[in-house]
Structure 1
């Protein structure tokens, strides 16, 4: 989902942020589901999805399959209106408590410099769109849920936005004008391709946030 359909121009600086673990202190999808269904149902769902989680880590199934199974167990059958209302409440009431203050400061610094911000995440656009608009992001490239006849089908409507898929969606958003991603921020294996795609990439855990005026080359390598 893009908040703005306009592609980046070649002379513009674009900044890509991962969300979970980079901007936040925890995984927002798990937190959203717990927020929606309660602790008891969340625990039961976690136990039921264990075979798919094991399969994901052993290579027997994909991350997308494991995520869809978890969401199907917890949220399938909920109406689109119900989930959209829950997502708006979550973005306004709960999500701000998970956000790292230093990342908000970095986002604001990029905005002061006139940079175009894009959020690139494997979590759902369902609630990320609400948060990103309020935070000043121009676009959200993330995973979409499938709704049929007004209800969540338990499936994903788009590829899981993780790893190489992040770069594919960024390239599509950048468009024919050839805009560039100058800065990118991530925290995990799923962000490595995006960090390599950017001119300057920062991976949480490999040092403090560098100054934008003196960003060392390829911080994410090593």
Structure 2
């Protein structure tokens, strides 16, 4: 019999920050990152209201990650790690779930480019990581997403799919409103206050 699974969001759930902005600034440099913010904002401002966040994110990723190498991404991930403030309530809960023998799934809109490094540096051994995947050609990022952004309903869809072959109760940890759909999949929900 399975002991179940604990599903954790990352940004503002396990750590206090929104990590993607920090990572993109580290890999692109402050000036290029600021320019990308301005250009992405301008492009998003003329998009239909429901599409604005997606347009902004896609443009930011294109402008900051295109032509960067996997080694540059690894270096930026290493520099990101010490800047993170971990939330004891949820990191302790993750450790308790692991000690109880439950599977651990991290589901985040953060990028697969840096998440494995951050989790490894923190000493987390997870059974699954659902994140936003970036397209890479050889050793160079194209700046385009290879998957949909792992946020909102897309995150819930991917978590539901991952849970298909897992038996037992599900614990969910996230923040509102971003993780509401994912948390609805859990038998036991914990909302981390903003």
Residue 180 of structure 2 aligns to a residue in which SS?
Answer: helix
Contact 1:181/1:197, CA 8 A, preserved across alignment? no
- Looking at structure 1, the residues matched to 44 and 116 of structure 2 have their Cα atoms a distance apart, in angstroms, of 27
Q: Which runs of 5+ in 2 are unaligned?
A: none
Quote the residue 2:179 is aligned against.
191
1:130 corresponds to 2:130: no
Task: Provide Cα deviations, 1:126-145, integer angstroms capped at 9, x if missing partner.
Answer: 11112234212221111100
Query: What SS does structure 1 have at the residue aligned with 2:147?
Result: coil
Pairwise CA RMSD: 2.3
In 2, Cα distance between the equivalents of 1:104 and 1:178?
A: 22
- 1:123-202 equivalence runs, <5 A: 123-133=110-120, 134-175=123-164, 177-180=165-168, 182-202=170-190
CA distance in 2, matches of 1:144, 1:102: 28
Corresponding residue for residue 86 of structure 1: 76
Give runs of aligned pairs for residues 113-124 of structure 1, distance below 5 A: 113-124=100-111
Say yes or no: does 1:41 pair with 2:28. Answer: no
- Please say if residues 132 and 140 of structure 1, whose CA atoms lie closer than 8 Å, have aligned partners that are also in contact: no
Task: Give CA deviations for 1:80-132 in whole Å, capped at 9, x if unaligned.
Answer: 33223432x135433xx322233222211222212211100011111111223
Aligned equivalents of 2:152 and 2:168: distance in 1? 18
Alpha-carbon distance in structure 2 between the residues aligned to 1:159 and 1:62: 15
Match for residue 19 of structure 2 among 14, 22, 28: 28
C-alpha deviation, 1:36, in angstroms: 2.1
Q: Deviations over 1:62-82 (max 9, x none)?
A: 544321210111121112332
1:52-67 matches, cutoff 5 A: 52-54=43-45, 58-59=49-50, 61=51, 63-67=53-57
TM (norm. structure 1) is 0.76
Q: Return the TM-score normalized by structure 2.
A: 0.86
Aligned partners of 2:175, 2:110: CA distance in 1, in Å? 14
Q: Is the CA contact 2:7–2:104 (under 8 Å) kept in the aligned structure 1?
A: yes
Aligned length, in residue pairs: 192
